[in-house]
Amino acid sequence: MGELKLMKGNEAIAEAAIREGVDAYFGYPITPQSEVIEYLMMEKPHERTGMVVLQAESELAAINMVYGAASVGRKVFTSSSSPGISLYQEGISYIAGAELPCVIANVVRGGPGLGTIQPSQADYFQTVKGGGHGDYRLFTLAPSSVQEMADFIELGFEIAFKYRNPVMILSDGMIGQMMEKVELKDQKPRWSADEIKAMHGSWATIGKPESRERNIITSLDLDPHKQEKHNHHLQAKYRQMEKEEVRYETFDTDDAEYLIVAYGSSARIAQKTIMLAREKGIKVGLLRPITLYPFPEKPLAELASRMKGVLSVEMSAGQMVEDVRLAVGCSDIPVEHFGRYGGVIHSPDEVLEALEQKIIGGK
């Protein structure tokens, strides 16, 4: 049984990283997630577990420090917010190409550009459709509570090392800043050098003994045929993730006639919308994708087949709705998007109004 605490999402993810036995955190301050590095600095994890915490000179440096520590088989964590995550993209592409594990948290704020410091979900495209260059996929977990901010550290590293792929925890300013009760797991020991050698010595650049060929971490192959082969290997990995790692939950869908699809903060708000709707006699359910990549397209397609309409709710101008439409397919039911954006959070009433106007009324 873990320890119960009242914490901000940003603090919970930091504390969870220490307890996970993470070896290093590299980051650069940016609102609304600076509490992550502040908490880590205050906690002196170097004394608790030997974990390294370093404030880099820029996001470019931070993500490349992550690349370095990940290349030697260590558990590395970093966090930032939208403009900073844009600067991470080059590094994330290299990390994906070189097949390195790491966990990155994006506490999303409104954009584009410098935007605002208020919550947003407008980094969906950037996260699940690429962001950086080349054919790669970023495994994406979307927490909708402070508890999940903490829990997704462990899950994130499990996936990251299983597939040797970067994992994104796509949060937002609301989840990062809000305080909630969180159950923290017991402290795990950090991996020893011998454990790392045994588990990751086949690829990690931890120093070449005479007994093996040198290990090389690179995403470069000038021979296009070899590069294509490498890409085939990456794609096979992504297909496996799509087959085995989809996570989602449903709420009030058994008798539902209408479906809301929402993740993170919007999923919390949608739950209230569902209560309000049911008070008015409108039977609405919720599908909450927990993994945004891989997207829960099959469960969504199944649910949608018995719905009269689907509303995708996201604090954006309409990004996830494209995946919702792809999943629902060429059905004649309405599939629409609703969301406030640019840092504005929609209310449950606004979501209900959108449901009534765009889906029920628009039928």
Partner 1 sequence: MDIAIKDIIKKENLVYTKTKLMTDNVLSYCPGCGHGTAHRITMEVVDEKGIQEQTIGIAPVGCSVLAYEFMNIDMVQAAHGRAPAVATGIKRVMPEKYVFTYQGDGDLAAIGTSETIHACNRGENITIIFINNGIYGMTGGQMAPTTLAGMKTSTSPFGRDLHSMGNPLKITELVAQLPGTYYVTRQAVHTPAAVRKAKRAVRKAFELQAENKGVTFVEIVSNCNSGWKMPPVQANEWMEENMFPFYPLGDIKVDGELVKK
Q: Is 199 in the site for partner 1 (CB under 8 A)?
A: no
Q: Is 52 in the site for partner 1 (CB under 8 A)?
A: yes
Q: Is 306 in the site for partner 1 (CB under 8 A)?
A: no
Q: Is 198 in the site for partner 1 (CB under 8 A)?
A: no
Q: Among the candidate windows 57-65, 270-278, 342-350, 353-361, which touches partner 1 by CB under 8 A?
A: 57-65
Binding partner 1 (rule: CB under 8 A), the pick from 91, 110, 119, 285 is 91
Enumerate residues 6+ apart whose C-beta is below 8 A from 312.
Answer: 260, 261, 262, 318, 320, 321, 324, 335, 336, 337, 338
Question: Which residue number, 224 or 281, has a Cβ lying nearer to partner 1?
Answer: 224
Q: Please state the closest distance from residue 75 (CB atom) to partner 1, in A.
A: 9
Q: Please state the closest distance from residue 305 (CB atom) to partner 1, in A.
A: 45
224: number of Cβ within 10 Å: 9
User: Cα–Cα distance between 163 and 81 in angstroms, integer?
Assistant: 25
Asked whether 70 and 102 are in contact (CB, 8 A), the reply is yes
Q: Is 87 in the site for partner 1 (CB under 8 A)?
A: no
Q: Is 6 in the site for partner 1 (CB under 8 A)?
A: no
Six-digit token pair at 159? 């996936």
Burial 236-273 (b: 16+ CB within 10 A, else e): ebbeebbeebbebebebbeebebbbbbbbbbbbbbbeb
Binding partner 1 (rule: CB under 8 A), the pick from 6, 114, 220, 326 is 220
Question: Which residue number, 69 or 290, has a Cβ lying nearer to partner 1?
Answer: 69
Binding partner 1 (rule: CB under 8 A), the pick from 64, 79, 118, 120 is 64
Strand partners, 250: 287
Place of tokens 């004394």: 47
Question: Which residue number, 194 or 254, has a Cβ lying nearer to partner 1?
Answer: 194
Q: Please state the closest distance from residue 68 (CB atom) to partner 1, in A.
A: 3
User: Cα–Cα distance between 104 and 349 in angstroms, integer?
Assistant: 33
Q: Is 227 in the site for partner 1 (CB under 8 A)?
A: no
Question: Which residue number, 58 or 357, has a Cβ lying nearer to partner 1?
Answer: 58
Binding partner 1 (rule: CB under 8 A), the pick from 17, 37, 72, 287 is 72
Q: What angle do CA 105, 111, 114 make, to 5 degrees?
A: 90
Q: Is 96 in the site for partner 1 (CB under 8 A)?
A: no
Q: Taking phi first (over 0 means left), then psi (-120 to 50 degrees means alpha), and beta for anything else, what does residue 207 get?
A: left
DSSP symbol at 184: E
**Which amino acid is residue 138, in one-letter code?**
L
Which residues are at the interface with partner 1 (CB under 8 A)? 23-24, 26, 52, 54, 56-58, 60-62, 64-72, 74, 76, 90-91, 94, 98, 205-210, 214-220
